[in-house]
Chains A and B, each alone.
Chain A
């Protein structure tokens, strides 16, 4: 249900952009909406992160996934159970860059010879491929927003097209991105557990990203657009001297509009895990809570049952058993 809804929503959005291009609403779809989307993205992102920041981390609750630091002769697991800032940086780097936790994913299989333990790395692989390629694709697009194009962007493009297949040469990341996003989608459709937990908010961004990737790939290889005009438009956006060259082609406006929707949708959705992963208190705290005192800013004043009250209640029986008391 949620899937159909999301699919229809994305198709509808693409149709809007296409109609916009047909109606020559280039100013709206080429300038106004992208600006608005970036504005909403940045403002919304900051607002959300600050909202998180306004809540303190009252307690020190890292999830420890390895041996703690204790006696000097016991080998500490410094990355899975860090006790120093360096360790945390390592743990967070592993988490953010290599998806350490997903790497642990388990699935065990029954064979005739008994159970065989195996890790289940497909989600890790799919997730990592998706995120890494998305990032590279994002960076690659800087060639539309810089003039002259920095050498490192060009280099990235060359490396990405390393296999030199096809004309214009195929960029690996684009293909992998589409494949990985499709895998993540199929998983939601065919894995009964994941299907059960999926909400429209899970399908929508996937369809949106698939739509963006497909329109981008179409534009590069099949339905050509005038790339010089595209860059004229994007540089106009980047320099705040907007121009709207005509004759770019509807597919570009579909691409651009879907990206705008993704940007604007970002801060209000689960996509905020981009910022959230850095702030997760079960990951970004050192397991040194017995070594260094962690402060709770709202440490509450609570009613206690003091020893005096306790002794008052039980003094006689304590004395009868010979237990020492404060007041005779």
Chain B
């Protein structure tokens, strides 16, 4: 999908129009679509991630996953005493049950489950609102379902951050380079003034590797093609009960949380 310069300028001119879009407009047709549970990607490939929350037990389990991502993608680390919390950049991070699934009105979930942390990342939605609002078409959806962002084209307008219901996007308020702990010379950094997020490690996929987080998770995070009935992710989803984040918004997330059940009992 190549956009020539002229087209881009035209789009850039529409930025102002984008400003006028309200959230209602953004979600309107996705909500309609979701009510029927029908609109599902029919492409050959739709990458997805299944997170088996049962397999994440110790703090180290969680941290290993985040560290793997941070290191490989040159993600700056927030220095607590210096950093403004707003400056935090996160591709994959952990949060509480309440923050992760605010729409779950079931008070009777097992208490231990509700105490757990959940790894959160970009949901690579099948109907991504961030793509719709991007005035420069820097964010786009690939045929394989990955919601990708062209950093060269990002103008830092942050419409996508406003549109994303999952808070999966971070803005570089400062030059990130001084805050990168272990530099990966094979991966670029970002510059000040652009938005960034999880890419499902598209660069690793092209080399036939698994996403870094999945690789580091000891099987807790499983990556695969959702549209392939034989894929591992489909098998897990077929046999386990899972949750999506805020499914009622109709964004159709590609990240699933296997929650299990009996092990929380007692």
Contacts and interface: CB of A to CB of B under 8 A. Distances in A.
Q: Do chains A and B touch in the complex (CB under 8 A)?
A: yes
Interface of A: 165-166
B127 to A, nearest CB: 30
Interface of B: 5, 8-9, 12
Contacts of A166: 5
Contacts of B12: 165
A154 to B, nearest CB: 17
5 contacts: A165-B5, A165-B8, A165-B9, A165-B12, A166-B5
A166 B9 CA distance: 10
Contacts of A165: 5, 8-9, 12
Contacts of B8: 165
A92 B232 CA distance: 76
Nearest to B12: A165
A235 B12 CA distance: 39
A237 B63 CA distance: 62
A22 to B, nearest CB: 32
A165 B15 CA distance: 15
A102 B5 CA distance: 37
A27 B207 CA distance: 56
Contacts of B9: 165
Nearest to B9: A165
A177 B12 CA distance: 22
A150 B12 CA distance: 33
A165 B3 CA distance: 13
A165 B7 CA distance: 12
A165 B5 CA distance: 8
Nearest to B153: A164
A157 B8 CA distance: 22
A127 to B, nearest CB: 26
A69 B12 CA distance: 51
A166 B12 CA distance: 13
A165 B9 CA distance: 8
A192 B9 CA distance: 35
Q: Which 5 A-B pairs have the closest CB atoms?
A: A166-B5, A165-B9, A165-B5, A165-B8, A165-B12
A167 to B, nearest CB: 8
Nearest to B152: A164
A179 to B, nearest CB: 15
A169 to B, nearest CB: 11
A165 B8 CA distance: 9
A166 B4 CA distance: 9
B5 to A, nearest CB: 5
Nearest to A166: B5
Contacts of B5: 165-166
A147 B9 CA distance: 35
Nearest to A167: B5
A324 to B, nearest CB: 81
A105 B33 CA distance: 57
A181 to B, nearest CB: 21
A49 to B, nearest CB: 44
A44 to B, nearest CB: 42
A214 to B, nearest CB: 19
A166 B5 CA distance: 6
Nearest to A170: B5
Nearest to B8: A165
B71 to A, nearest CB: 29
Nearest to B136: A165
A166 B8 CA distance: 10
A166 B152 CA distance: 11
A165 B12 CA distance: 10
A171 to B, nearest CB: 15
A136 B5 CA distance: 25
A63 to B, nearest CB: 42
A300 B237 CA distance: 107
B254 to A, nearest CB: 31
A104 to B, nearest CB: 31
B136 to A, nearest CB: 10
A165 B10 CA distance: 12
A175 to B, nearest CB: 12
A168 to B, nearest CB: 12
A50 to B, nearest CB: 49
A165 B13 CA distance: 13
B49 to A, nearest CB: 33
B135 to A, nearest CB: 13
B193 to A, nearest CB: 10
A326 B162 CA distance: 94
A166 B3 CA distance: 12
A242 B138 CA distance: 47
A42 to B, nearest CB: 41
A166 B153 CA distance: 10
B106 to A, nearest CB: 49
